[in-house]
Chain A
Amino acid sequence: MRHYLDHAATTPLRPEARDAWLEASAIIGNASSTHGAGQDARRVLEESRERIAAVLGADPIEVVLTSGGTESINLALQGLWHSRGPGTTAVVVPDGEHHATMDTIAALVADGAEVRAVPLSPQARIDEGRFAAALPGAAFATALVANNETGTINDAPALAAAAADAEVPLHLDAVAALGHLPLSFRDLRGRADDAVGLVALSIAGHKVGAPVGVGALVVARSARLTPLLRGGGQQRGLRAGTQDVPGAAALATALELSERERAAESVRVGELRDRLVEGIRARVPAAELLGDPDHRLPGTAHLLFPGAVGESLLFLLDMAGVSASTGSACQAGVAEPSHVVMAMGRSEADARSVLRFSLGRTSTDADVDAVLAVIGEAYARASGARAAERS
């Protein structure tokens, strides 16, 4: 029996989303075709877009469907850079962002961008004051709504208001926050006008039970954004390419269900998570819960196991049927030291000794019990392995 505690990586497909996908896949026709078959497809596509927009507090025209979080983030950051105001080269980027952001920014640096980094607090939170101080004159700013590793929730309304005040376009990466926090693009924009303040927000469907391969970038009406993909001019010319009707239908269904369940699930999953953390700390007193204790995604437990090799812990848990995460891995499959943990001011050794457990819709008490049954022994062995290495 396998116990899946890596919902932040991807969460199981919802049966209703699968059904919606299958039903829409039976429609013949390209949504851009003007004949009746095309119109049938277009109808389902636009209905889906409206449902997605409703959940995200956006207008349907603002929802640009993409292949997922990475594409959305690339479109937002590259798009804002290539449409930047004359003479602006600074970009405001907090530490500890997702690799999709960091690597895109690195490419923009090669194109002349100058990064104004915003340090994280020891709890992985973006300091709103320092964020605001970095904004004046910047080409754009970006920030996570919630950190994908620690689960720490940032003050997105404050970040958006600061960007509006400084008249700088802002992209918010809501991939990790989706399904766990109320997200209203309209409310977050506040009194922003179309070109500055919050102009773009990224989400990925598979974090809420839609299939992998569908996501969205919410783009304010007249945000200045250069497209990545050019072709048939679909989706306001921001994302050319034949539109994925079944994907849109599945995303709409998953988002609606996730939003409907959100309040109750947050409580249920939060209680499971708290029991997991307390249980781990009872068995491994040295373990330390990372992230902000008060402002945290309900399903995420990011823990430091001092002196343990993260990849050994992961291996021992995996052998016991528990799927957890050490954070990101390189292409070859090597677990990398967590850049988020290092951005929190910790050592590289600490950054190699962390595990993230993330709970979700299908999590049960049995999953928590499975971790608690093995974590003590796993920690003893994984820290012994390190001691042996040193000798």
Chain B
Amino acid sequence: MSGGVDSAVAAARAVEAGHDVVGVHLALSRAGGTLRTGSRGCCTIEDALDARRAADLLGIPFYVWDFSERFRDDVIDDFVAEYRAGRTPNPCMRCNEKIKFAALLERALELGFDAVCTGHYATLVDGAEGLELHRASDNAKDQSYVLGVLTADQLAHTYFPLGTTPSKALVRAEAEARGLSVAQKPDSHDICFIPDGDTRGWLAEKVGTATGEIVDRSGAVVGAHEGAHAFTVGQRRGLKLGVPAADGKPRFVLEVRPVSNTVVVGPKEALAIAEISGERFSWAGAAPTASVFACDVQIRAHAEPVPATATVTTKGVRVVPDSPLDGVAPGQTAVLYIGTRVLGQFTIDSTVSAVPVGV
């Protein structure tokens, strides 16, 4: 129970469904702020109190469990290391993969619980080959992308009571009707461990600054920067290029090379990606039986799924989209869908541009 409206209503529905429910608030940061500001933050005393008051109202026991060390090692340090390596990580997926449905679930099972119930918007379907993870009925709030890292074993101990509710507004209305004080609490959008929302500033503090070159695809130096980690593929703002492009068109970050501390820029067309692949993959339920199959690929939480062909080998997954993908950065997670069903995911290691160099 984060202290937000979704987990509070999920808990209420779990209680009503007759389960023996215990509320757990995860302490993920040792230096959490004291009070909430705007839509940001978790791990504040106020959020913990909101969660406690929701549990009080539901008449369930409530505990705060400290996973801050695991969170630091597996999520925060990983986030910094990924940026340092020129990749663009998704810390919420790491948290689901390593904390909520791993460390917490493992502890819960040891302590005698059957499942971890969360306020995520996704649904579980009993399929012919076992449990399947599907998109939520409310597509706008669908969170199946960030749950794409879950495996069959994890899904078997997971419970998403909100997945079949067609809109977030209904969840808020239900919270209101139940007398939950968090009914109108704003959604949190930002990365919870960067409380002021300034990811670049936060990274600069962790990674440090070092002057490097900005080059175009021919290798010509077109500008300078204070640290490659501050750039992500597809970025246009903040480049401050001294030399205008020959065609006068805006330029975008195409590649970040952390070893040489170099940022490569080019025209928007050069962002088009014809192929992505990665070695680190998992299946959210039964593994696909064919080694080559048609699916949809989604590369960000709120990106549109794109029809594609996936090829699975022992070394990893390669995906060729029917139409090029835009703004793909190594480190991002590609989630594969068939219809509404989440098939699995892989972390993107490499990309192939749809536009040859020199264009």
Contacts and interface: CB of A to CB of B under 8 A. Distances in A.
Contact of A332 (B22, B45, B111): B45
B107 A388 contact: yes
A311 interface: yes
B107 A334 contact: no
B109 to A, nearest CB: 7
Contact of B48 (A311, A315, A333, A391): A333
B65 A311 contact: yes
B32 interface: yes
A31 B296 CA distance: 79
B111 A334 contact: no
A316 B107 contact: no
B110 A332 contact: no
A330 B44 CA distance: 11
Q: Tell me what chain A mostly uses at the interface: helix, strand, loop, or mixed.
A: helix
Interface string A364-391: 0000000000000000011011001101
B110 A388 contact: yes
A384 B25 CA distance: 21
Nearest to B106: A388
Given A311-B63, A333-B63, A334-B27, A385 B107 contact: yes
Nearest to B112: A381
Contacts of B112: 381
Interface string B64-93: 111010100000000000000000000000
A271 B64 CA distance: 34
B268 to A, nearest CB: 46
Given A312-B111, A385-B110, A388-B110, A333 B61 contact: no
B107 A389 contact: yes
A383 to B, nearest CB: 9
B191 interface: no
Contacts of A311: 63, 65-66
A153 interface: no
Interface in B1-53: 22, 25, 27, 32, 34, 43-45, 48-49, 52
Given A318-B61, A389-B103, A333 B111 contact: no
Contacts of B103: 389
Given A311-B65, A318-B61, A381-B112, A332 B48 contact: yes
Contacts, number: 59
A311 B34 CA distance: 22
A382 to B, nearest CB: 8
A177 B82 CA distance: 53
A155 B276 CA distance: 71
B106 A385 contact: yes
Given A331-B45, A332-B32, A334-B64, A388 B52 contact: no
A349 to B, nearest CB: 11
B34 to A, nearest CB: 8
A309 B109 CA distance: 14
A389 B112 CA distance: 15
B106 A381 contact: no
A332 B27 contact: yes
A381 B110 contact: yes
B195 to A, nearest CB: 14
Contacts of A385: 106-107, 110-111
A335 interface: yes
Interface string A320-354: 00000000011111110000000000000000000
Contacts of B45: 331-332
Contacts of A334: 27, 64-66, 68
Contacts of A381: 110-112
Which residue of A312, A319, A334 has the most chain B CB atoms within 10 A of its CB atom? A334
Nearest to B108: A385
Contacts of B106: 385, 388-389, 391
A318 B110 CA distance: 16
Contacts of B34: 331
Given A332-B32, A332-B45, A388 B109 contact: yes
Contacts of A331: 34, 45, 48
A181 B157 CA distance: 52
Contacts of A389: 70, 103, 106-107
A72 B160 CA distance: 50
B94 to A, nearest CB: 16
A316 B111 contact: yes
Contacts of B48: 331-333
A16 to B, nearest CB: 32
A385 to B, nearest CB: 4
Interface in B95-142: 103, 106-107, 109-112
Contact of A333 (B64, B107, B109, B110): B64
Which residue of B32, B48, B107, B112 has the most chain A CB atoms within 10 A of its CB atom? B107
Interface in A290-319: 309, 311-312, 315-316, 318-319
A319 B20 CA distance: 12
A335 to B, nearest CB: 7
B356 to A, nearest CB: 47
A315 B111 contact: yes
A32 B321 CA distance: 84
Contacts of B110: 312, 381-382, 384-385, 388
Contacts of A309: 107
A332 B65 CA distance: 10
Interface in A150-206: none
A318 B61 CA distance: 9
Leading 3 A-B pairs by shortest Cβ distance:
A385-B110, A333-B64, A332-B48
11 contacts: A311-B65, A311-B66, A312-B111, A331-B45, A332-B32, A332-B49, A333-B52, A382-B110, A384-B110, A385-B111, A389-B106
Given A329-B64, A330-B27, A333-B25, 14 more contacts: A331-B34, A332-B43, A332-B44, A332-B48, A332-B49, A333-B27, A334-B65, A334-B68, A335-B66, A381-B110, A381-B111, A381-B112, A385-B106, A385-B107
